[in-house]
Structures are given as structure tokens and as C-alpha cells.
Amino acid sequence: MKAFLKRAKEHESKINKYTEEYELGRKHLANMMGIHPDEMTQEHINEAIRYLLPSGLFDKGSRPQFKHPKDILPLNFDFPFDKAGRPYHYQYYTLLPNYHCIMSEAAWRMECLREEEVRIGSTGAPPQEEMKHLSEEYEWMDLRTFLNYFKSNHSEVVQVNEHNRFVILMTKLSKMRLREQDVAFLKQFGSPKTSEINVMDTEEIKKFYVNEQGRKFRTKNGYRKSAIAQVTVYAEGEGILEINGKGIEYFESQYAREQVLFPLVLTSSLNKVDVHARVEGGGEMGQSGAIRHGLSNALLPFVSQQMVNKLSLSGLLDRDSRVKERNKPGQKKARKQFQWRAR
Amino acid sequence: GACIPSLSQQKTYKTDIKAKVVNPRPLTVTRIYEKKVILKNAEAAAALAKEEELSDKKEKINVYKSFHRDIAEDNALKNPDFFKVKEMVDLHTLFKNRVHFGHHHGCRHPFVVPFLYGVRQNTDIFDLDKTLPRLHNALNFIAHMVYRGGVVLFVSRNAQTMPLVEYTAQKCGEYSHCRFWKGGLLTNIDYLYKNLTRYPDVVVFIHTQNNFSHEHAAITECAKMLIPTVGIVDSNCNPTLVTYPVPGNDDSLDAVKLYCKLFEETILRAKEYRKRDIEELSDDSDES
């Protein structure tokens, strides 16, 4: 096909032009910056461009760049077929060859495994290769990585339907008795599920300070309605609880006392931790809620990652934003309305 | 209510109608003239001779004339069974692999009637004396096309046999399309593919129908683009637009396995012969 030659020549001439421009520009830049052009690296160029041509665009790929055409354009203009016009990929005529290749390979493996099972079941002979079930449930590529995989490697645009089918097929395959080669095939697209989902895994959670006496502690503020609480938790303690100079008797109702003790009971650290709290504002319930909020946030560095997940998922770490609703004109209270009259 | 055929009607269906093919599939191809200037009109030749630089020109070129022939076909055409296709299949293998079973007589397509032997327990039975020569012809045709370096595309839309068909296509070094057929794949090829792609030279249908028991869209597209097709036609299928229909069963696994095995054998054999017989001709033969 002679259209190949034409396009390949065009591409080559383009690349040559761009390299010349790049070299020229590089020398000018080096002159401007006062650096020898041989010592100038790509980082110098990037800094200079950011200074000379600042842009506030969000997408970093669309900001002005100055790179060698090697990094931007492909070197060899690869057609997906050879001189005679025959495509290289056997599923080129479907418009998504690589995606369908993966699916058909998985389907073919399923067929082979089914045949093996039938043969084993009917004749009673041992399997030719070692076949095992997967010990764990596997988690497959999520949508974004899936779309990216095909776009970046093979420049194919895949849709959501294709991802759904992919997930269904892979789960079907993973539930059969597999050979080693099948496991290797599946590991390209998935990994075993971890039962632990690390919801919060940042460094801020694990920060704590050390006392003059050498005791670790952490203070956090807790808020509820209009109450503010300052809670400090000391590790390696006996179970001391102090609220504004008093013990748990500061709160009279059982409900308020339970609110304060609940995070300690959850993490099972009642007698292992000292708590000192200072509360202002609000009423009894508000203050107890504020202490609960502060306590659960202050406990995090002294507790395992599993517990951190539990606390975050339970909602103890979130500030309860419920506030008394305002009164509205034309009504008695926030929701209560005046008595309805017929006329 | 199906129309019951009278088997006394012995009308043969004409599959070998020869149509005059004049300038088929004219393509607009951009051509570079490097050393030799090949043009049709004398005026244009004079105009070009003034320009010393290379120029691109859009011309309607007949693809068949500019086809690069790298093999001498005369030997293959001397012998009617050059590829020894008749040794691959005989009636007994067809019968053993259940090729003679059709569908319920209520599903019968009226144009398939000439290929049927009769009805047995409400199922149509194919006349294997009629399928066998047609199968031989189809295999021979495929072998000849592959011998000349043609592209074969396997099409089927049955989920049970799809992995098998794709595997055979991969083994042979040919191509398969057993997925959703996007309309205009062949008629609108330049729009769907980024690059100038080559049409398939033969399309082999192992199931002529799609999932909704309608005719596969590729049959009409191939007919429009004048691409010859080979198709296995069951008793509920329409055989009119298929150039080499092979009446037979397409539902039982044994039959499909047989077909796949046969196609694979012919293609690989033809490629062997091609390797053996290939000669690279000089560039002078392009001028024709």
C-alpha cells in the first residue's frame, strides 16, 4: 500500500522539523538563563517555561510545554497491518481487538476447563495438571483503570458495558478449578480482596505528643450544638476519667454518661487510657456529645487500624451538624403552624 | 402454518450465475509517482512532465489491476482438485457428525427446500448427496483464495461456539468477528477505521443468523461490496445471498467442530502450497 510510504515520509519530515526548532529554542533559552546548553536539563526548561508563560489552566497537559518531539510524537509510525494490507491482530475487524482478545481468551480457557472436568468426571482419571480453586475472592479492575488500560496501551475507546461484561466473565472464570496458567492470566486483571478497607490511613491520625514525664498524649476538640470540649487522652493509663474537675458524676443522666463511655467501650480501652476533659457551653446532652466527639478523635493513634476503620465507619469521628431550626414568620415555631381556619 | 413442499419438484437452485463484474469497488487512492509515471490521459502526462517535484493525485484506480501478484496461478487452475479437498470429507463423516439434522419443519425456510431429503419425526433432514459437492466447492474456493494471499473472515453469532471459531481463526492466521456487528463495517469502512484498511476477500459464516434469528447483517454488506461468502445454511436460514451455501446443521457441537476442523485444514494446506510455489515478480508486471 503506497499510502503507507507517503504517511511515513510525512511523519519523518515532521519530526526532523520539530527537532531543529527544539534545538534552536534550547540554545536561546540557555543563553537567556546564563547556563551552558549542555548542562541544561529538562527541569530547567520546565521552570523557565512556567516563569515565562504562566497559565492558570487546570489541566496540566494543556499548559505550554517545551519537549523533544520524541516524548510527544511516536518515533515509528506503526500501522496495524503489513505491506500486503493484512492486519497483525486476528480480531482487527472488530473495532476493539485487544479487548475482545482478552474476552475470547478467558472464554476459551473456560471451555478447556469444562472439558477437563467432564473428562475427569466421566473416566475418573486424574487431572493432567494441578488444578485448584482460588483461596480468596478476587477484586477486578475498576472502571477508570480499565478505560485507561485500553486507551493508553492500545488507543481503544471502551464503554461501561464492556467493563460490566469483563467483570462478569472474570468472576465466572475465577470460581472454577484453575490451572497455574489460568491464575497467572487472572492476576493481570485483578488481585485478592483485602477484607480490611483502610478508610483513613494518613499521618495526621497517628500524631501524638510526649509529656515532660514521658507520657504520650493527644488533645482534640469536640463540638456538639453549642458545646465545645477539649479532651486529652493519655496512653498507658489506669482508667482515670476527669470532666471539669469531676468524674463521670458530672453528668446526671445515664444517657449522657453512656455517650462519654461509648468510644472507650468500642475500642476496649476503658482501663488502659486516661481521659481529661474541659467542657463549656451548651446543655447536658450537648456537652456529652462534644466529649464523645473529642474523645474518639483523640484515641486514634493509640488504637489499631481496624479500630480506626470501625470508628470512622460508625460516624463517631464526624461532627454532628444538627442545630436547632430557626422560627419562621407566619408560624408558631419551626414547623408548627397556626390553626387552620375555614374562612 | 408452514407450506409443506412437494418433493416431486426437482428445481435446482442456481448458485453458479456468472455476473459481469466491471470495475468493481473503485477506490480513490492517493498514489505517489516516484520514478515511473503511470497515467491514462496524454494531456495529464504532459502537464505533469513540467512539474519536477513529486505530486499527489487522486485517481479512481481499479484495485484488481494494481494488485501485486506474487504467485503464478496457472498451475493451480490446471487441476480441478489441486488442494485434494475431496480426501478430507466423505459422506460417512458428515453423517457421523450429524450434519444432516435440520430444524423443526415449521421453521423451514422456503428457499432451503431443494436441499432437503425429507422429514423424520418433525425434523427436516438434509440431502447429504447435495451438501457434499457444495462443501467440496466451498473448501476448494477458500483454498484458492488463501493460495493467492487472501484475507478470510470468520463470522458467527452463536455464544456456544464462539470461542471455538475464534480459536480456529487464530490458529489459521486468519481473522474472526464473532461479536456485535456494527452496521457499515464493510460499506462504511473508511469512517470506522482510522487507516485505509483492506477488505476481507472471503467471509465464512458458520452461523448465518444472529442472536434474534434474523439474517446476519454481514450477508447483505458482503453482497453490496461484492465480497464472496461461504455460509453454512440451516433449514431456517435464507441461502439466497450466500455465494457458496453449504446446507447443513449449525446447531450441534459435533457439526461445528467438523466445519472448523475442515476450514483449518484447507487454509493451512493452501498456505503450505503458497510457500512452496511463491516467486517474487519484478516491478514491470505492475504496468498492465
| Residue A206 shares a structural domain with residue A286 | yes
Nearest to B117 by CA among B129, B107, B133, B99: B129
| Residue A98 shares a structural domain with residue A170 | yes
Beta bridge partners, B27, equal B61
> For position B283, what pLDDT does the model report?
42
| Residue A240 shares a structural domain with residue A276 | yes
Of the ranges B38-52, B72-86, B195-209, B247-261, the best mean pLDDT one: B247-261
> Distance between CA A222 and CA B230 in Å, rounded?
78
Does residue A280 belong to any structural domain of this protein? yes
ipTM above 0.85, yes or no: no
List, in sequence order, every beta strand (DSSP E) within B138-218: 152-155, 175-177, 202-205
Does residue A111 belong to any structural domain of this protein? yes
Average pLDDT in the A8-33 region?
88
Express each pLDDT in A124-143 by its tens digit. 888 888 899 998 889 999 89
Q: Give, for A209, the enclosing helix (H) or strand (E).
A: strand A209-210
| Residue A53 shares a structural domain with residue A142 | no
Nearest-CA distance A188 → chain B (Å): 21
Are B68 and A84 within 8 A, CB to CB? Answer: yes
- Residues of A within 8 A of B31 (CB-CB) are 2
- Residues of B within 8 A of A74 (CB-CB) are none
| Residue A43 shares a structural domain with residue A105 | no
| Residue A225 shares a structural domain with residue A177 | no
Chosen domain end from A192, A218, A247: A192
Percent over 90 (pLDDT), chain B: 63
Express each pLDDT in B111-134 by its tens digit. 999 999 999 999 999 999 999 999
| Residue A44 shares a structural domain with residue A97 | no
One-letter amino acid of A159? Q
Chosen domain end from A137, A167, A192: A192
Q: Cα dist. A142→A93, A101, A163 in Å? A: 27, 19, 8
> For position A233, what pLDDT does the model report?
94
Query: Angle between the A180-187 and A160-174 helix axes, to the nearest 10 degrees?
Result: 150
What residue in A sits closest to B29 (Cα-Cα)? A3
Nearest-CA distance A97 → chain B (Å): 10
Are A87 and B175 within 8 A, CB to CB? Answer: yes
> Distance between CA A118 and CA A121 in Å, rounded?
5
Residues 6+ positions from A277 with CB-CB distance below 8 Å = A229, A230, A231, A232, A242, A243, A244, A291, A294, A295
Q: Cα dist. A260→A252, A264, B169 in Å? A: 12, 8, 70
Percent over 70 (pLDDT), chain B: 73
> Distance between CA B253 and CA B97 in Å, rounded?
9
> For position A285, what pLDDT does the model report?
95
| Residue A107 shares a structural domain with residue A183 | yes
Does residue A322 belong to any structural domain of this protein? no
> For position B279, what pLDDT does the model report?
65
| Residue A172 shares a structural domain with residue A98 | yes
Q: What is the mean pLDDT of chain A?
A: 90
B110's grid cell: 422456503
Does residue A131 belong to any structural domain of this protein? yes
A80's grid cell: 496495524
Nearest-CA distance B149 → chain A (Å): 9
Express each pLDDT in A275-332 by its tens digit. 999 999 999 999 999 999 999 999 999 998 888 888 988 999 999 999 999 999 999 9
CB B157 within 8 A of CB B206: no
Express each pLDDT in A79-95 by its tens digit. 788 877 889 999 999 99
Are B185 and A93 within 8 A, CB to CB? Answer: yes
What angle (nearest 5°) sits at the alpha carbon of residue B286, between those of residues B281 and B288?
Answer: 125
Percent over 90 (pLDDT), chain A: 64
Residues 6+ positions from B133 with CB-CB distance below 8 Å = none
- pTM, entire model: 0.64
Domain count across chain A: 3
Does residue A326 belong to any structural domain of this protein? no
In total, the C-beta contacts within 8 angstroms joining chain A to chain B are 69
Does residue A62 belong to any structural domain of this protein? yes
> For position A77, what pLDDT does the model report?
62
Average pLDDT in the B257-262 region?
97
What residues of B are in the A interface, CB distance below 8 Å? 29-32, 56, 68, 149, 151, 153, 162-164, 166-167, 169-170, 173-179, 182, 185, 192-193, 195-198, 200
CB B279 within 8 A of CB B122: no
Long-range contact pairs involving A154-157 (C-beta distance under 8 Å, separation at least 24): A154/A97, A154/A98, A156/A95, A156/A96, A156/A97, A156/A98, A156/A99
Chosen domain end from A165, A192, A219: A192
Express each pLDDT in A271-288 by its tens digit. 999 999 999 999 999 999
> For position A75, what pLDDT does the model report?
60
> For position B53, what pLDDT does the model report?
43
| Residue A211 shares a structural domain with residue A280 | yes
Q: What is the CATH number of the domain that holds A235?
A: 3.30.230.10
Are A90 and B169 within 8 A, CB to CB? Answer: yes
B78's grid cell: 490446471
- Residues of A within 8 A of B173 (CB-CB) are 90
Does residue A158 belong to any structural domain of this protein? yes
Are A2 and B31 within 8 A, CB to CB? Answer: yes
Does residue A330 belong to any structural domain of this protein? no
Nearest-CA distance B204 → chain A (Å): 14
| Residue A162 shares a structural domain with residue A227 | no
Residue B252 pLDDT > 90, yes or no?
Answer: yes
Domain of A268 in residue numbering reads as 202-313
> For position A143, what pLDDT does the model report?
92
Q: Cα dist. A67→A223, B5, B24, B63 in Å? A: 52, 76, 48, 42
Residue B39 pLDDT > 80, yes or no?
Answer: no
The more confident residue out of B200 and B61 is B200
A60's grid cell: 496540566
Nearest to A102 by CA among A6, A186, A160: A186
| Residue A183 shares a structural domain with residue A229 | no
pLDDT classification of B60: cutoffs 50, 70, 90: very low
Express each pLDDT in A25-77 by its tens digit. 999 999 988 889 888 888 889 999 999 999 999 998 889 989 888 777 766 66
